[in-house]
Amino acid sequence: MLEHKINKNKFVDFCNGDVKGEDTETLNHFDEHTRYQFTRMLYAYGTGMTGQNPFANDEEVEITADIDSATHTSFYVNGQKAFTAITGMSYLPSEIQTFGTIQQPFKTRGYKPYDPGTNSITIGVGSRFNLGNGYSMTVQEDFVWGEGYGNGSKADDERCNMIIGGLNTLIHFADQQYFSSMTDPYTDYILDFLASQGVDTSREFVINGTHCELV
């Protein structure tokens, strides 16, 4: 349990479970994250996961936490940095409702071919691409439609599926409707497709006005 160092501290009460943190303006969501990471730190030290335990000798220990950003908090034990905790962002239900879904229509319409001057391309509703071997895909209002299944082998059909899935997520991402992580399963297929259109992905490139870079 935490002890009050000098004066009564609402965060200490919150951390000890004496208050819920719901009825005071001095406690907020950052405090909730800090309490969670603090308890995880105590667990890590107590179970020997860190190979050290500053609490083992029963001496007074000062722990401070600096909020570096909305997701990063640095913890210090007796003035020495112990670790940086990274916590995923939390969203309100109203915010989650604004996130993209597979049914959400694409924002971009039409097609503009690759521009080497800006390393950019525009791919929107109505764009059509020939994938070879009898396969093709067309950007519909809210999804990418594939044609030509059965013209090749099972592996060819699967490759077509992955290209279509990749383009679907790429357009939604470029239209600010998907998180970039949703393109991860299709990365290789997306890069191959963009290369076939002339896009140089070894440097910053632009899709539907969105600046992109591989990391």
pLDDT 10s digits, 134-163: 999 999 999 999 999 999 999 999 999 999
Q: Which amino acid is at 55?
A: F
State pTM to two decimals. Answer: 0.54
Instruction: Say if 114 falls within a structural domain.
Output: yes
Residue 210, SS3?
Answer: strand
29 and 76 assigned to the same domain = yes
57 and 104 assigned to the same domain = no
Buried b (16+ CB within 10 A) or exposed e, 72-105: ebebebeeeebeebebeeeeeeeeeeeeeeeeee
Instruction: Say if 5 falls within a structural domain.
Output: no
Range of the domain at 78: 10-90
Where does the pLDDT of residue 9 fall: very low under 50, low under 70, confident under 90, or very high at 90 and above?
Answer: low
Instruction: Say if 177 falls within a structural domain.
Output: yes
CA distance 127 to 208: 12
Place of tokens 């965060």: 11
- Structurally, the chain folds into a number of domains equal to 2
130 and 166 assigned to the same domain = yes
187 and 108 assigned to the same domain = yes
Q: Considering 58, 90, 122, which residue would you say is the last residue of a domain?
A: 90
Q: Specify burial of residue 13 (Cβ count, 10 A radius: 0-12, 13-18, 19+).
A: middle
140 and 187 assigned to the same domain = yes
For 19-65, the pLDDT digits (tens) are 665 555 556 556 666 677 777 777 777 676 666 676 667 777 777 77
106, 124 in Cβ contact below 8 A? yes
112 and 74 assigned to the same domain = no
Q: Considering 46, 73, 90, which residue would you say is the last residue of a domain?
A: 90
Instruction: Say if 199 falls within a structural domain.
Output: yes
Instruction: Say if 205 falls within a structural domain.
Output: yes
**Nearest Cα to Cα of residue 189 among 131, 118, 123, 115:** 131
Instruction: Say if 2 falls within a structural domain.
Output: no
Mean model confidence pLDDT for the chain: 80
Instruction: Say if 122 falls within a structural domain.
Output: yes
What tokens does 157 get?
């059909």
Of 48 and 97, the one with more pLDDT: 48
75 and 118 assigned to the same domain = no
Q: Considering 30, 63, 90, which residue would you say is the last residue of a domain?
A: 90
Given its phi and psi angles, is residue 20 left (phi above 0), alpha (psi -120 to 50 degrees) or beta? alpha
